[in-house]
Structure 1
Amino acid sequence: MNKSKRLRRLQTLIGWLETGKDVARRDLQLVLTADEWDRYEAEVEQRRDLKAQLVEVPATLRPYIARLKRADFLYVRAESMVVDGDPRVRQGLYHQSESAYEAALVVLTEALGNQPDLVMWLDREFSLSPEKAPTPDPLAVPRLKMSKSGNRDPDGGVEWLTGVRRSLKLAALKSSFENVQVADGRVGGQIRSIAKNSPNKSAIQKKIDVTSWKV
């Protein structure tokens, strides 16, 4: 495949991914160099290993999860009494749930203090500093990435893992496009020549100019 044809193919595949379509492994492998393909495969394997690790919850996190479930149970009971329940009982349950969340956070802080890499199982960042501790409520406390709780942060959960491969494909294609341009000694030249004959040159230039891509 000559350089011009390869550049056009790279642009096409990049466009597919950026508009929500997928790119088959065979198409990706055909357009990447052997080294670029090996780097892509290595990145995919690293993410696959990470996902496999997250399935098995470490024993050191289980006490935190148990306390978190207890706190959630108390909070849900309090919420269920908002309409018909005794206000004093409901308020008491809220206080109990708050205390339970605080106790859970203490357990989590101790666990992370002894084993900092446990943070990889959590859906959000967690600081050991008391000044930056989350509030003791169901929306603020950390959850497991694989948790089914509706209070889990979707940006830090399993959704992050499922979208990784598409991002890796896009990064590999954009990097390959830049590599071809650099090797040809005229970065952006191919893009300008395509836009030159277009009636809407500025729009196309903005859309496909490789210098505007952020990987």
Structure 2
Amino acid sequence: MDLPHIRKAKINYLLTQLNDGKRVTDQAIQSVLTEQEWQELAKEIDQWKIKCQPRAKPYGRMPSELERYADLIKAADCLFSRAKACRDKTYPRSVGFMLPPMHLRGLTAKELRYCEAENAYDDALEKLAEMLSDEPGLAIWLDRPARFGQNDGTVSANPDGVPRLITSRSVHARHYSPGKPTKSSLQKWALQSSLNRFDLFLSLEPPPIPQRYAAKVRRTPDLDDGW
């Protein structure tokens, strides 16, 4: 594989990482962009840091009840990550004592792990609802409004749908106003733009002459050669 196509493969790999919600370092992004493309992205990131400042933290120490909630969310995140990494195989029916409940039989191991993660998120949300019912003021420590109604609810049992503490460093934390770009979205924009320009360049470039025919190609005579 030649160097241009290696660069294209690296860009596609980094885009896949970002689309999967994984963090990509600035060094990795810079290694596949041109100097001008990187300068444009660095400028956008600097402006993003200024405009999208995190919410100010409340004064005082975070209540211990919320620390318990944060632990439940962390445990659910671990289960969700294990589900994503799990191979999609049918549950082993031969091991009788390991069989899941009847309504879950027939699911793959991956699907079962997702069910475990969803149940863990549900337990965390139930705990949060109890805490906010007893002490509504705890909501100032959350990164988003937490409404639990069936029609107008703002929470759901998944990594992006559960409220997180404003001190959380999770990639799923919502520290910024809806509609504003995130650093990963700026990185994806820069990589996709570079990939589009790269594909356009390849489409305009004439196809190379196969090596075995290169020696047989004669130079086309022109008028200045005395023909």
Category of TM-score, reference length = shorter chain: 0.3 to 0.5
Compare the two structures and name the one with the higher helix fraction.
1
TM-score between both structures, scaled by the size of structure 2: 0.43
* Larger Rg over CA atoms: 2
